Amino acid sequence: MKFATKAVHAGVVPDPTTGAIMTPIYQTSTYVQDSPGKHKGYEYARTQNPTRDALQASLAALENGKYALCFASGMAAIDTVMKTLNPNDEVIATNDLYGGTYRLFVRVFEKFGIKFRFVPMQNAPELAKHFTPQTKLLWIETPTNPLLNIIDIEHVSQIAHAHGAKVVVDNTFASPYLQNPLNLGADLVMHSVTKYIAGHSDVVMGALVTNDEEWAGQLKFLQNAAGAVPAPMDCFLVLRGIKTLHLRMKAHCENGEIIAQFLAAHPKVGQVWWPGFAHHPNHEIAKKQMRGFGGMISFTLKNDSVADAIRFMESLQVFSLAESLGGVESLCGHPATMTHASIPKEERQKAGLRDSLIRLSVGIEDPQDLCDDLKQALASI
Ligand SMILES: *Cc1c(COP(=O)(O)O)cnc(C)c1O
C-alpha cells in the first residue's frame, strides 16, 4: 500500500460490535473476564487498550515496521529505550540534539552509570573512532534540531552495526512521510508524536517502531512495567490527525520552500538553514534519504543581534511565538531560551547554536500571508 492509503486506513478496522467506521475511544481502565484468566485479550488498560492498539498498528505501517508502541510523551518513549541499557553501557549521540533528550541522557541516565558521547555525525568516517566494546547504541536525529544538519542514516548504521551497536533515529522532524529510517538500516525509530504525526498541537505523545522482535518485547515489557502510556482520547486524536498526514506534510514542504527562499533573499537576514538549498552542506544526503525537505527553517539576522531577534519574534502576528513544532499553524521559537535552554551555553556554542538563532515551524496557512508577516516583522527592526 502507498503512504496516503496507509495514512487513511492502516490499523483502523470497523468496530466489531457496532460497525462504527472510526475506532471508538475505549475509555476504560479494566475489562470484564468470563472466568479468571479467560478474557478477550484485554485485562487492564496500562497493558492493552483497543484505541491504542489501532494507533500502534497505524504507526507500524507508516514506518514500515512490525512493532509499534505508544507512550505518554516523546520523552517517555526515549526514557523507555534507555531503560533497556545497563550500567557501563555507552551511547554515542548526535551533538546537535533536542534539548530534552540531552537533559534526560546527562542528568538522569548518567547517574545510573550509562555513558554518553555527543559527536557531530555529518562526517561519517570520523564517527568510527568513538566506538568502544561498551557502545550499545547510536542515537541520531536527522534533520537535527535546530540546525537542520542531515546525517546519512544508511552510512552511520553500517558503521554502528560493524561495531555491534544498534541505531535509533529520532524521526520527529521528518515524519514517516518524508523518511523511513528502518528502510535505511536503523533498528528503531522514535517519534515525538506531539509534532507532525498528531499535527494539530493538541496532544503530547511519543512512539517507538522497530522490526527487532526481541527489543520490541523488552520495550513492551517496560511500557507496561513503568506505565507511561497515552490516554485513549489522545490515541483517538492522533488516529484522526494521521488521516491527513500526507496532505499536511506536502503543504509544510511547499510552504517551507517558499519561506526559505524568501528569507534567503531578504537583506536583513543572515544565514538560513534549510536542507532543500543546493548549497546546504548535506543537501545530497537529504535528497537521497528524504522525500522532501520539510517545513523547519532556522535563520539568523545579518547583524546577529539578539535584541533584534527578540524584537522580530515579538512583532510576528500570523506566526505564534511558542515551543514545539509540526502543527498546522506556523510557530516561531528562540532555541537559546526555549527548546534548548536546558543545554549549557558552552555546549550550545560548541554545536554552533548561536543565541541569535530563530527557528520557524512553517504551518499550512497561505504562504503569501506567512511571507507578509515575516516581511513586516523584519521591517520592525
Ligand atoms: C519534542 C521533541 C522530543 C520530545 O517529545 P515530547 O513529545 O515533547 O516529549 C524529542 N525529540 C524531538 C526532535 C522533539 O522535537
| 181-239: pLDDT as tens digits | 999 999 999 999 999 999 999 999 999 999 999 999 999 999 999 999 999 999 999 99
Residues 143/175, Cβ–Cβ less than 8 Å: no
**CA 306, CA 270: separation in Å to the nearest integer?**
13
Distance 35 CA to ligand 1 centre (A): 42
Give the phi and the psi of residue 67 in degrees, each rounded to 5. Answer: -125, 130
pLDDT for res 124: 67
Ligand 1 atom showing the smallest separation from residue 173 Cα: 13
Distance 321 CA to ligand 1 centre (A): 17
pLDDT for res 189: 98
| For ligand 1, atom 1: residue with the closest CA | 192
Q: Is residue 234 lining ligand 1, measured as CB closer than 6 Å?
A: no
pLDDT for res 6: 98
Tens of pLDDT, residue by residue over 137-170, are 999 999 998 899 999 999 999 999 999 999 999 9
- Return the percentage of the chain with pLDDT > 70, whole number: 100
- Residue 334 CA, chain-centre distance (Å), reads 18
Q: H or E element: which one contains 146?
A: none
Q: How many CB atoms are located within 10 Å of the residue 130 CB?
A: 16
Mutate to test the pocket of ligand 1, among 82, 140, 189, 194 (most ligand atoms within 8 A of CB): 194
Distance 371 CA to ligand 1 centre (A): 27
Q: What is the mean pLDDT of residues 317-345?
A: 90
Q: What is the mean pLDDT of residues 333-353?
A: 82
Q: What is the mean pLDDT of residues 256-267?
A: 98
Q: Is residue 195 lining ligand 1, measured as CB closer than 6 Å?
A: yes
Selected catalytic residue, list 15, 46, 304, 354 = 46
Residues 64/180, Cβ–Cβ less than 8 Å: yes
98 carries an active-site annotation: yes
Q: What angle do CA 156, 112, 71 make, to 5 degrees?
A: 65
Q: Is residue 192 lining ligand 1, measured as CB closer than 6 Å?
A: yes
Map out the domains of the chain with their CATH numbers. 3-242 (3.40.640.10), 245-379 (3.90.1150.10)
**CA 91, CA 93: separation in Å to the nearest integer?**
6
- Burial (Cβ within 10 Å: 0-12, 13-18, ≥19) of residue 31: middle
Q: Is residue 58 lining ligand 1, measured as CB closer than 6 Å?
A: no
Mean pLDDT of the chain: 95
pLDDT higher than threshold 70 for residue 52 = yes
117 carries an active-site annotation: no
**CA 56, CA 10: separation in Å to the nearest integer?**
10
pTM of the complete model: 0.96
Tens of pLDDT, residue by residue over 169-180, are 999 999 999 999
pLDDT for res 238: 98
195 carries an active-site annotation: yes
| For ligand 1, atom 7: residue with the closest CA | 74
